[in-house]
Amino acid sequence: MRLRPLALGLLAMLTVVLSTARPGVAQSSPADRLVFNDQELFLSGGNVAWVNFARDIGPGRTRLSTFETIFEELNAHGGNAMRLWLHTTGATTPAWDGATVVGPGAGAIDDLRAILDAAWEHEIGLVLCLWSFDMLRISNGPTVTDRAFALLTDPTLTQTYVDNALTPMVEAVAGHPALVAWEIFNEPEGMSHEFGWAFNRHVAMEDIQRFVNMTAGAIHRADANALVTNGAWSFRSLTDTPVTLAAKRGSALTTAEVSQLQRGLSAKYAHPFSPEEARSFYETLSRSAAINYYTDERLVAAGGDELGVLDFYSVHYYEWGGTELSPFHHDYATWGLDKPLVVAEFFMGSGSDPDPDAVYGVPQEDLYPTLLERGYAGALAWQWYNYPNSAEGVINWPRILASTQRLYDQHRGAVDVQPGLRIASFQAEPTGIELGASATLSWRVSAASTVTLDGLPVDSVGTQTVRPDQTTTYTLEAVGLADTTSAQVTVSVLDPNQVNRAWRQPAVASSVETCCGVDATAHLAFDGDLSTRWSSAWHPDEADATPDDEWIYVDLGALLDIERVVLQWEAAYGLAYDLEVSFDGRLWTPVHEERAGDGGTDEIRFDEPATARYLRLHGLRRGTEWGFSLWEFEVYGTASARRPPAIALVAPVEGAIVQPGSDVTLRPAATDDDGRIAQVDLYIGSVRVSTQRTPPYTFTWRSVPPGDFALKAVAIDDDGLAVSTPPIQVFARPPVPFMRYEAEAATLAGDVSVEREAAGSSGTGYLFLRDSGTLTFTDVTVDTAGLYLLMLRYYLPFGYKAQYLNVNGERVAELGFDGPTNQWLTRGAQVALRAGPNTIQLEKYWGWMYVDYLGLGLEAVNVSTGPEPLLPTTTSLGESFPNPFASSATIPFTVATPGHVRVDVFDLTGRRVATLVDEVRTPGRHEVRFDARHLASGVYVSRLQTDTVQLTRPLLLVR
């Protein structure tokens, strides 16, 4: 539930109050608790840290569905708090004019409110961390680090941030019930002269103290009830109590100790620490004197603001600190602090200690209870939300959930948030069904002693599938200690011909109106809401060269015999348009023509049902100066008994590179479940080059000319139904000079090994990419920006594989590698490179293949005459993992261009069982969790739909 402004106002009484003393404010809670939601609580949770690093608020689209998944999982395991990073580097927010901050950033406050709303819906509080040491990470480039350096060192520029960004943000969310505290920095010591790391630029600790003082004072003025903290790197910068590391100097560490230290540091700081860097890190740690840089006196002395002090302390601990700096081995009182202390980052036993399941003898399952029993005020283990990728997710996130559950079971009173009795949500999906179909009821209730659904006891959070044989109203009742509340939903049983088959189905449009308020995206024509609309682009600012030639289509999810279509036009209607049907979303057949449209409501009835899975409105002429605009696009019909054929192009493989003048064999595979294949047509580009009527339907293309070609095959069955393969791109290039980058010379990370038995490889060996890891080719230099032919020589010992391709830090594609096993092959693709040095990275998606070299043509492709670039305009739907799965799976997908994205899951009957994403997403790689705990075992299908692409993949649920 998204809390509306009025609701937030009513909830303002549930504000966070001060838990420690600062000038003029009395102490109000013990040292081992913080006051949050008017309760004295021990913070128990983890670090959401980020979903999209440094981009979770501000320009772009916040991935609320992922945040909701995180918060829901933590709440279900008894957790109550998480730590979220906001600006982080300053690359996205705040808004800058040179080194001067001019605002919070477009959409930053709205995004922050939305995340807080989602957290509170699941009774999770957030510690909002503003900045990280990453703001001076050298790899960010001079634009980011120069202005961040100026912000930290120049008080005048700091004040622009306070006035124009920080204060508006604090005022906007003051009193939000999910707000635990503001945190100024994440480990600022990492960018200091005194402690700083080699991959960062450095400022003085005095600059950091002044910045903390100025921003903490501003927060306290903007919200008198706000709590402020700061995330210290270790007790070395947070205590005046003498602490001496018993371990060796960095120069005396053994090779094994250095290796263990490297692994822990590299995992934490996303930087491949060399042995020398690891030794230097430890040397600095062992020599530095312990001092609390964040006492009231020292902060006020640095910045002069009496209100610029902390309300509680936060510390991080990693196992390179040994037992001497461990909160798990020392009581809170050891450190001589005058304010509560939250341990806000630590590994769940998988750090530098050789024992992966313990922290120097403390078992991972005892870490949370140990901190509570030793007098600390919170335990937030380290995790950015990338489960189940890498150790962060495979180890830490599941252990965090198990630990918060253990703490909840043992000390419920210390961690249980009591928000008050309410039914947060109760809904049916869908609300109208045909006889024999099902709807899913879902609900979430807080602070209830009992919950009943139509009089029968149910859990406070749950779902139930219903199959009413007549229109039925369901009642959910919640009973608290002194109150009762209820809610109702109705599921209508309709005649099959009254069921709108297009309702909330995936939709794609040729263009979207973005000029005039809320983007009029395609899915808004299928949401059942007559106040929302799709409109095509028409405004000059949208640079649409053909505003009269536009289309929108819907994927009906299953093959239907369509009997009627209802188009409810907005004022901007279609004067001339066609209705077209398709079985595959690629081949379209007209079934209705309109040449004198007059707007209003068009109801088209077919004398004979039009069989299709996809239905498209193809606009040919606008009726007004604006675009084509629909309030709703409705489709009515029943399931069809007809079945189209199936076809795949087996050879050549995607990205094949062939010599001009050679022969290429096109080899399709076609089947028909309810009849026979009448013919298979083979195309090169848009030209049909062969029609085959008997198996094996192959065609040999003789003497291939130079060029880049798109090949496809079309199957037509004995019922006249036709389907097409997606186009396969083939590069016919003469031998031209290219730069070769041997894979064994790349920078390697993860489970990648150099194999020296180089039979058939081009250099001294090749790489074996297994179950994790990356190959990074740096300094791939070109003189001119443009599209270049990339060649990857590979070997498949285990059959088809797919890997991620990253260019200059951005994921641009999921590359498939196909072809015969146990022989060296070459795969081509086009990549957009900038002039000068570039970084190209092959990252494990499936892994388990060999890589010999990366080749790059020395001349850019002529964009004006060449083919459409394969990259970076590739949108893909990845294989879910795990697959098969028992209760939940993660579905990865990549978006090439910004736009509306929808990810759904269907069962084999075509019934949608979940909508996981339904919003605008920015380019790049995304992930979404699919929770199938309420579903039966079986095969399901995930489907990704954008404005230009529709993709599906199977998932296997096994109980």
Q: What is the pLDDT of residues 490-519, one digit of tens each?
A: 999 999 889 999 998 888 888 888 777 667
Q: What integer is the mean pLDDT of 473-483? A: 92
314-318-324-326 Cα dihedral, nearest 10 degrees: 50
Are 395 and 263 in contact, with CB atoms under 8 Å apart?
Answer: no
**What are the beta bridge partners of residue 550?**
619
The alpha carbon of residue 572 and the mean position of all alpha carbons in its chain are separated, in whole angstroms, by 36
Q: Is the pLDDT of residue 334 over 60?
A: yes
Q: What is the pTM of this model?
A: 0.49
- Residue 860 pLDDT: 60
Are 788 and 834 in contact, with CB atoms under 8 Å apart?
Answer: no
Lowest-pLDDT choice from 681-690, 853-862, 939-948: 853-862
Backbone angles phi, psi at 936, to 5 degrees: -80, 160
774-788 burial, b for 16+ CB within 10 Å, e for fewer? Answer: bbebeebebeeebbb
Tokens of 672: 């028909």
Where does the pLDDT of residue 755 fall: very low under 50, low under 70, confident under 90, or very high at 90 and above? confident
Residue type, 911: R
- Residue 760 pLDDT: 67
Are 727 and 699 in contact, with CB atoms under 8 Å apart?
Answer: no
Q: What's the rounded Cα separation, in Å, for the pair 581 and 595? A: 18
- Residue 787 pLDDT: 78
Q: What is the pLDDT of residues 406-415, one digit of tens each?
A: 999 999 999 9
Q: Is the pLDDT of residue 923 over 70?
A: no
DSSP 519: -
Q: What is the pLDDT of residues 606-620, one digit of tens each?
A: 999 999 999 999 999
- Residue 526 pLDDT: 93
β 849-857/899-907 pair status: unpaired
Lowest-pLDDT choice from 219-223, 623-627, 923-927: 923-927
Q: What is the 3-state secondary structure (H, E, C) of 623-661?
A: CCCCCCEEEEEEEEEEECCCCCCEEEEEECCCCEEECCC
Where does the pLDDT of residue 656 fall: very low under 50, low under 70, confident under 90, or very high at 90 and above? confident
Sheet of 432-434, strands arranged across: 432-434, 484-494, 472-479, 450-453, 456-457
Tokens of 3: 């809390």
Where does the pLDDT of residue 784 fall: very low under 50, low under 70, confident under 90, or very high at 90 and above? confident
Question: Among the ranges 29-38, 383-392, 706-715, which has the highest mean pLDDT value?
Answer: 706-715
- Residue 349 pLDDT: 81
Are 628 and 536 in contact, with CB atoms under 8 Å apart?
Answer: yes
Backbone angles phi, psi at 189, to 5 degrees: -60, -25
Where does the pLDDT of residue 955 fall: very low under 50, low under 70, confident under 90, or very high at 90 and above? confident
Q: What is the pLDDT of residues 138-186, one digit of tens each?
A: 988 888 999 999 999 999 999 999 999 999 999 989 888 899 999 999 9
Q: Is the pLDDT of residue 959 over 80?
A: no
Q: Is the pLDDT of residue 867 over 60?
A: no
Q: What is the pLDDT of residues 206-258, one digit of tens each?
A: 999 999 999 999 999 999 999 999 999 999 899 998 765 444 444 567 777 77
Check residues 778 and 83 and name the one with the higher pLDDT: 83
Mean pLDDT of the chain: 85
- Residue 393 pLDDT: 54
- Residue 864 pLDDT: 30
Q: Is the pLDDT of residue 300 over 70?
A: yes
Residue with tokens 């790349």: 746
Q: Is the pLDDT of residue 758 over 70?
A: no
Q: What is the rounded end-to-end Cα distance, in angstroms, of the chain?
A: 31
- Residue 247 pLDDT: 44
Question: Residues 712, 899, 166, CA angle at the centre, nearest 5°?
Answer: 155
- Residue 270 pLDDT: 60
- Residue 43 pLDDT: 98
Q: What is the pLDDT of residues 342-381, one digit of tens each?
A: 999 999 987 667 788 999 999 999 999 999 999 999 999 9
The percentage of residues in the chain with a pLDDT greater than 90, rounded to a whole number, is: 48
- Residue 252 pLDDT: 65
Where does the pLDDT of residue 736 fall: very low under 50, low under 70, confident under 90, or very high at 90 and above? low
Q: Which of 150, 153, 111, 149 is nearest to 133 (CA)?
A: 149
Coil, strand or helix: which one is 390? helix
Q: Is the pLDDT of residue 17 over 50?
A: no
**What are the beta bridge partners of residue 275?**
none
- Residue 898 pLDDT: 63
- Residue 468 pLDDT: 96
- Residue 849 pLDDT: 92
Residue type, 226: A
